[in-house]
Homo-oligomer: A and B are copies of this chain.
Amino acid sequence: MVTRAMARAERRNRLSRERVLRAAVDQADAGGLDELTMRKLAEVLEVAPMALYRHVANKDDLVDAMIDAVFAEIDLPSADGDWRTAMHGRAISVRDALARHRWAIGLMESGTNPGPANLRHHDAVIGSLRAGGFDIANAAHAYSLLDSYIYGFALTKMNLPFEGSDEIADVAQEMLAPFPEGEYPHLMEILTEHVMLPGYDYGDEFEYGLDLILDGLERVRATA
């Protein structure tokens, strides 16, 4: 009997791949990938460092599994219904997942060892495009374009040195402080007369670009 044994294992604080994975993701969410060390992870789990290696081949294996766990959090686009709303929804879903797990940005597309959730996700995206009327070549184009934009946006947004609109002024000041005034006039202009205005949120740019891209893709699809 497996269930009986597993249940007991669960009841006690038995280690398991799942527990290690969850703790690792939490760790990385909290402090970035740098804070994820096997030793600290073991400490959180109240276990000796080497105990982890019964459930994980090595750190790379762990990280691969973590990435697939993030993919599993992303809503799959449906193949029926409007392709455009499906793509829009999946873009938002990816963005949100990456916002929850900033450490994953830059690793998600790591071609090496794609996990099942990764493959299923991409399969569903292509399926949705094909069902929406894109031929193979255009589905490939759309897929590449959308993915590049989504991950690129996450990347640039992640690296922004400010979080809310309040801190922007301070950060901008500090960033430009070492340089002579008037050295970067256009940067200065866009900062003072756009970015620093109340109500600005860089996150809003995401849907703007997404819609522009989806408009372009619809045009391609219609004339194919």
Interface on A for B, CB 8 Å cutoff? 105-106, 109-112, 114, 116, 119-120, 122-124, 126-127, 130, 136-137, 139-141, 143-145, 147-153, 155-156, 159-162, 171, 175-176, 179, 183-187, 189-190, 193-195, 202, 205, 208-209, 212-213, 215-217, 220
Query: What would be 23 A-B contacts, judged by CB atoms less than 8 Å apart?
Result: A106-B155, A110-B159, A111-B159, A111-B160, A111-B161, A112-B161, A119-B176, A119-B179, A120-B183, A123-B186, A126-B187, A126-B190, A136-B194, A140-B190, A141-B205, A144-B156, A145-B209, A147-B156, A148-B209, A149-B149, A151-B152, A152-B152, A212-B217
Do B145 and A190 touch across chains, with their CB atoms under 8 A apart? Answer: no
Which residue of chain B lies nearest to A111 when distances are taken between CB atoms in the complex? B161
Cα of A147 to Cα of B189 in the assembled complex, Å:
19
Do A186 and B114 touch across chains, with their CB atoms under 8 A apart? Answer: no
Q: How far is the CB of A61 from chain B (nearest CB, A)?
A: 14
Known: A123-B187, A148-B149. 8 other contacts (CB 8 A): A126-B187, A140-B194, A143-B190, A144-B153, A144-B202, A151-B155, A151-B156, A212-B213
Which residue of chain B lies nearest to A216 when distances are taken between CB atoms in the complex? B212
Do A126 and B175 touch across chains, with their CB atoms under 8 A apart? Answer: no
Cα of A176 to Cα of B114 in the assembled complex, Å:
9
Q: How far is the CB of A28 from chain B (nearest CB, A)?
A: 16
Which residue of chain B lies nearest to A210 when distances are taken between CB atoms in the complex? B145
Q: How far is the CB of A115 from chain B (nearest CB, A)?
A: 10
